[in-house]
């Protein structure tokens, strides 16, 4: 029960604070995986790779896979429901909030503010990654390939193959 | 549109969505806007709403479900995402933990952190490049403020609320 409670609490925290999808979530999940159970960061790397190549929302897949490792099927269910809850409540509440005249007139500004804040959060996560990771050359090459239009999933498969040599 | 039909629509689209929500988005637009169940403006609002809230980016599916059939539609659309993801998780669960400790697998997985760093930087730069062409001052101000705030460990919800209020107050001015 304690384990499921920890999964739910962390799922809610991730669901309420991570903007930008699975790429933004991965460093946080990796960082906090040890708090949940006996889960090594390398195992989270593997779960990330599998979550991205599986069908379905990658962030949900990653957190569900981590939760399943710690709490089995019940853990996966609790973790995924907790992860989705903040967004579920917000998408129901925000259209009601937008009915307030002043807020309704400034919706475009609010969406712009949220978009640039998400870009800022992603940028900060990337900068933290650059400071911690050792593979600067790989990061640079991957970035160039993404700007050249290579699909992220295909690129992940290619870099995993390169790493396995 | 019935709740059952919406559920199976989300399940079928999510089952073939690999590495992003574009398949779900395109399919929902074709079925719901094309079928006259919601307007193009409601669809666009649902996408914007879902993508500016925290959590999985696929939350736009919940928002579009809400516009289509209200609270029950939102719940059914979210359940569709959940069912497919739980199926994927059950497949991932079959992989034994020892597999991740195999030297060759460890070598492959060592590239994941630098790969994700590149992906995160790419997403941030693409958002800034596509969103700042006409008026770069407000985006620059919000983005730099959020980066500095994040590196100084300011809680994410506080940063997001500050950015939203700033966007509302200054939109059109800068």
Same domain, B18 and B90: yes
Is B130 within the bounds of a domain?
Answer: no
Distances in whole angstroms, Cα of residue B131 to Cα of each of A159, B1, B53: 30, 35, 18
Is B118 within the bounds of a domain?
Answer: no
Q: Could you give the number of structural domains in chain B? A: 2
Short-list B54, B27, B79, CA closest to B160: B54
Q: B20 pLDDT exceeds 70?
A: no
What are the residue ranges spanned by the domains of chain A?
2-100
Total-model pTM: 0.83
Is B21 within the bounds of a domain?
Answer: yes
The minimum CA-CA distance between A59 and chain B, rounded to whole Å, is: 6
Same domain, B10 and B81: yes
> How many residue contacts between A and B have a Cβ separation below 8 Å?
350
In this complex, is the C-beta atom of A136 within 8 Å of any C-beta atom belonging to chain B? Answer: yes
**What is the reported pLDDT for B71?**
94
**ipTM (interface pTM):** 0.82
- Residues 41-70, chain A, touching B (beta carbon < 8 A): 42-43, 45-61, 64-65, 67-69
Q: Pick from B63, B94, B125: which residue ends a domain?
A: B94
Same domain, B90 and B7: yes
Are A61 and B146 an interchain contact pair (Cβ–Cβ within 8 Å)? no
3-state secondary structure of A37: coil
Take residue A105 and report the two structure tokens written for it: 């007139």
Take residue B72 and report the two structure tokens written for it: 């029950």
Q: B110 pLDDT exceeds 70?
A: yes
Same domain, B7 and B88: yes
For B37-70, what is each residue's pLDDT tens digit?
A: 999 888 888 888 887 788 888 888 999 999 999 9
Q: Pick from B76, B94, B112: which residue ends a domain?
A: B94
Same domain, B81 and B149: no
Take residue B75 and report the two structure tokens written for it: 């719940």
For A53-112, what is each residue's pLDDT tens digit?
A: 888 898 999 999 999 998 899 999 999 999 999 999 999 998 888 788 877 777 778 878
Distances in whole angstroms, Cα of residue B90 to Cα of each of A29, A49, B84, B149: 19, 15, 10, 38
Q: Pick from B94, B116, B151: which residue ends a domain?
A: B94
Which range of residues forms the domain containing residue B51?
A: 3-94
């Amino acid at each position: 029960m304690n384990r499921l409670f920890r999964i739910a609490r962390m799922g809610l925290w991730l669901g309420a604070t991570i903007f930008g999808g699975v790429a933004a979530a991965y460093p946080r999940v990796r960082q906090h995986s040890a708090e949940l159970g006996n889960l090594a960061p390398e195992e989270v790397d593997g779960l990330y790779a599998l979550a991205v190549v599986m069908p379905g929302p990658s962030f949900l897949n990653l957190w569900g896979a981590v939760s399943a490792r710690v709490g089995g099927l019940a853990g996966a269910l609790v973790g995924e429901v907790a992860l989705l809850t903040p967004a579920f409540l917000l998408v129901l509440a925000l259209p009601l909030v937008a009915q307030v005249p002043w807020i309704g007139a400034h919706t475009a500004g609010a969406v712009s503010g949220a978009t640039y804040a998400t870009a800022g959060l992603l940028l900060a996560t990337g900068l933290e990654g650059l400071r911690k990771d050792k593979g600067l050359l790989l990061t640079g090459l991957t970035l160039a390939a993404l700007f050249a239009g290579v699909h992220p999933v295909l690129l992940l498969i290619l870099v995993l193959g390169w790493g396995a040599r | 549109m019935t709740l059952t039909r919406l559920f199976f629509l989300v399940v079928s689209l999510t089952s073939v969505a690999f590495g992003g929500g574009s398949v779900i988005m395109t399919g929902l637009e074709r079925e719901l806007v094309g079928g006259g169940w919601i307007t193009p403006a409601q669809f666009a609002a649902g996408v914007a709403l879902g993508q500016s809230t925290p959590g999985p980016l696929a939350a736009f599916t919940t928002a579009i479900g809400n516009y289509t059939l209200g609270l029950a539609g939102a719940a059914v659309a979210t359940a569709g995402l959940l069912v497919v993801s739980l199926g994927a998780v059950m497949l991932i669960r079959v992989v034994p933990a020892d597999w991740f400790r195999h030297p060759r697998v460890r070598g492959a997985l060592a590239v994941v952190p630098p790969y994700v760093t590149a992906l995160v930087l790419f997403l941030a730069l693409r958002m800034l490049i596509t969103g700042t062409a006409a008026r770069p001052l407000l985006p620059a101000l919000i983005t730099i403020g959020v980066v500095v705030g994040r590196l100084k460990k300011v809680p994410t919800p506080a940063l997001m609320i500050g950015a939203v209020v700033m966007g509302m107050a200054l939109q059109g001015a800068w």
